[in-house]
Amino acid sequence: MQINPQDPLLDAPKTERDLWMEVGKVTSGYPAEIVMSIGINIVIDTIRQLRPTQKTALDAFDEVMGRVRSRLAEHYGNNGVRKNIFPFDQIIKGEFVDFSKDRKW
């Protein structure tokens, strides 16, 4: 897999880049909802192990989500539309949902 020379991950420590590449390989082809669920569970479990009280855990969670929100916002322009500056090397597939009348739930 080629990495875009503008990717901010290139400025990250090598161990972080290596882990990111491995996570990409492992999650490739899984539905988006599963990948996001696993990711958030890793965040929750890590905070739970590091913070002894609910207050400190929730404060840490808010801090992490603030950084996530800022990083996500960087991928969108002032008009609110996603910037296409990075190629989509990892594709997360959504599951097919059949909404036809004949489907038996």
- Domain edges within the chain: 32-67
Q: What is the pLDDT of residues 20-45, one digit of tens each?
A: 889 988 998 899 999 999 999 999 99
- 15/75 Cα distance (integer angstroms): 24
- Answer left, alpha or beta for residue 4, where phi above 0 means left and psi between -120 and 50 means alpha: beta
Polymer length of the chain: 105
pTM: 0.67
CA dist., res. 77 & res. 37, Å (int): 27
Name the percent of the chain lying above pLDDT 70.
Answer: 75
